[in-house]
Amino acid sequence: MKDILNYKDFIATVHYSSDDEVFFGKIEGINDLVTFEGKSVTELKEAFVESVEDYISLCKKTGKLPHKSYKGSFNIRIAPSLHRKAAEIAILKGIPLNQLVQEVLEKELSSSVNR
């Protein structure tokens, strides 16, 4: 089960609060905090769409890019044995470890688009 909503180029994580008896969500991948809620799934989805549209409008008015920018580098923590295997495969292929990781990510991400 995925607790995710998609609209335009935006993704939101969603949850349910049994204490408040309300569904709530947060838009991910942006530099701001934008939340929304609804008493039903339909209300939650409508609130998400409205939040995205309001956020896009605000960004246009202020000249701000709506999506978080990424610099193209990140650190990952993996088991030393996996690190060693990846390094060995990169050596055998004659490519840098970064290139191997990029190729594996590209392959996984291109196949996950169709899921």
Residue 68 domain-assigned? no
The Cα–Cα gap between 29 and 10 comes to: 8
Residue 32 domain-assigned? yes
Order of all β-strands in the sheet with 10-17: 4-7, 10-17, 22-28, 35-38
Q: Are residues 100 and 58 in the same domain?
A: no
Given a cut of 60, whether residue 114 has pLDDT beyond it is no
Provide the strand spans (E) within the chain: 4-7, 10-17, 22-28, 35-38
Q: What is the mean pLDDT of residues 8-23?
A: 96
Q: Are residues 54 and 103 in the same domain?
A: no
- What pLDDT was estimated at residue 40? 95
Based on the structure, what is the number of domains in the chain?
Answer: 2
Q: What is the pLDDT of residues 18-43, one digit of tens each?
A: 999 999 999 999 999 999 999 999 99
Look-up: residue for tokens 């935006």?
Answer: 10
Q: What is the pLDDT of residues 72-112, one digit of tens each?
A: 888 999 999 999 999 999 999 999 999 999 999 999 999 87
Q: Are residues 95 and 47 in the same domain?
A: no
Domain that holds residue 28: 4-62
Residue 91 domain-assigned? yes
